């Protein structure tokens, strides 16, 4: 592990501690001014209409934030996996929201002097840095080298014998999908919290919309290309959902070429008249022609080896069938 990668993990781990630290500092500084009850819910008019046991709520949320913080740090340690760094950002964001759920009502109650007079004011704007914290953790970890689990396919391999097994896989993705996805999901959480705390049902529909769009972007932010006897599959590393499947019997030809995004309908997961494509940048990629004439294009590093692996497996399948 390089010194720079270690430093990035240390910085990310420290960032993960912010929600828990904020919760503890708030309890130590604001707690002495709180009674046994604090405001926990506000009406549309901005007046408290729900109350909770101050310290019961604290210990429940503190336990949740502690578990989320430990999980986030564990993901930071495993951040050589592409999906782990995405989940680290998400978990930190959720920990921040959980800390905010106690800290903001507690500060509002303490400032007002009584639960009945508590006002949220601009404190709900803290949702913005809470959402940004998850994006920041992801950004810090982004440059940590991705672990490579697979042995590269020897370039000298010319043909597979009957019974030989070959598996090739590689990951690809783009922060241009991952960072907006985390921001949108953070916005969805913020809308839901405001809708529930402030009784603003009108924010539920925008929250669901942001959740759907953010999840869709997160699904394609990082993917794994897997090539084996079952065919060619492109899987979302976050949700483990197959985005593309091509059986070996359905492959008429395989090659590599320079992928021009606009020729395939743009960037991201695209469906066009040419076929299906996963495009993250303008570069060489794997191109598979199906038996029915449509194509599949995937931009990925070492596309030549991926193409060779597909060709070897297709030849093996055809030899076994003849």
Q: Which of 183-187, 218-222, 272-276, 282-286 has the lowest mean pLDDT?
A: 183-187
Q: Dump pLDDT digits (tens) for 32-46.
A: 988 888 888 777 666
Q: Is 44 helix (H, G, I), strand (E, B) or coil?
A: coil
Does 294 or 42 have the greater pLDDT score? 294
Residue among 57, 50, 55 nearest 35 (CA): 55
Say whether 170 sits in a helix, a strand or coil: strand
Where residue 163 falls (left for φ over 0; alpha for ψ -120 to 50; beta otherwise) is left
Q: Which residue has the tokens 């299906």?
A: 276
- Which residues touch 129 (CB under 8 Å, ≥6 apart)? none
Q: What is the pLDDT of residue 19?
A: 92
* Tokens coding 285: 């990629």
CATH class (in words) of the domain with range 223-321 = mainly beta
Task: Report the sign of the C-alpha dihedral through residues 261, 262, 264, 268, in that order.
Answer: positive
pTM of the model: 0.57
pLDDT digits (tens, 9 = 90+) for 11-26: 888 999 999 999 999 9
pLDDT of residue 197: 61
| Angstrom distance (rounded) from CA 251 to CA 187 | 42
Using the predicted structure, report yes or no on whether residue 151 has a pLDDT greater than 60.
Answer: no
- Residue 251 and residue 278 in contact, taking contact as beta carbons nearer than 8 Å: no
Q: Of the candidates 57, 63, 79, which has an alpha carbon nearest to the alpha carbon of residue 13?
A: 79
Domains of the chain: which residue ranges? Answer: 1-147, 223-321
If 0-12 CB within 10 Å is exposed, 13-18 middle and 19+ buried, where does residue 32 land?
exposed
The helix, strand and coil proportions of the chain, stated in percent and rounded to the nearest 5, come to 55, 20, 25
Tens-digit pLDDT profile for residues 262-276:
888 888 899 888 899
**Cβ contact 109:58 at 8 Å:** no
In the chain, how long is the greatest CA-to-CA distance?
85
* Cα dist from 54 to 19, 34, 251, whole Å: 18, 8, 63
Q: How far apart are CA 189 and CA 191, in angstroms?
A: 5
């Amino acid at each position: 592990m390089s010194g720079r990668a270690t430093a990035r993990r240390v910085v990310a781990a420290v960032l993960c501690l912010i929600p828990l630290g904020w919760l503890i500092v708030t309890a130590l500084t604001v707690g002495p001014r709180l009674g046994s009850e604090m405001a926990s819910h506000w009406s549309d008019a901005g007046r408290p209409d729900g109350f909770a046991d101050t310290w019961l709520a604290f210990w429940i949320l503190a336990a949740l934030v502690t578990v989320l913080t430990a999980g986030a740090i564990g993901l930071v340690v495993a951040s050589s996996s592409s999906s782990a760094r995405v989940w680290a950002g998400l978990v930190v964001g959720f920990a921040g929201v959980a800390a905010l759920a106690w800290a903001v009502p507690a500060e509002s109650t303490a400032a007002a002097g009584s639960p009945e007079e508590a006002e949220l004011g601009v404190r709900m704007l803290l949702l913005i840095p809470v959402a940004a914290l998850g994006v920041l953790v992801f950004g810090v970890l982004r440059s940590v080298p991705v672990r490579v689990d697979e042995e590269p396919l020897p370039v000298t391999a010319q043909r597979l014998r009957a019974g030989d097994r070959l598996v090739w896989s590689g990951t690809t993705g783009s922060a241009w999908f991952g960072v907006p996805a985390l921001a949108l999901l953070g916005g969805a959480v913020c809308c839901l919290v405001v809708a529930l705390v402030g009784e603003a049902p009108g924010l539920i529909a925008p929250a669901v919309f942001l959740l759907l769009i953010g999840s869709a972007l997160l699904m394609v932010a990082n993917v794994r290309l897997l090539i084996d006897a079952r065919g060619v599959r492109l899987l979302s590393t976050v949700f483990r959902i197959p985005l593309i499947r091509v059986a070996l019997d359905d492959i008429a030809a395989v090659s590599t070429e320079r992928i021009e995004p606009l020729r395939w309908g743009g960037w991201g997961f695209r469906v066009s008249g040419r076929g299906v494509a996963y495009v993250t940048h303008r570069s060489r990629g794997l191109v598979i022609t199906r038996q029915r004439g449509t194509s599949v294009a995937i931009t990925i590093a070492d596309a030549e080896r991926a193409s060779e692996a597909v060709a070897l497996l297709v030849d093996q399948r055809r030899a076994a069938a003849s």
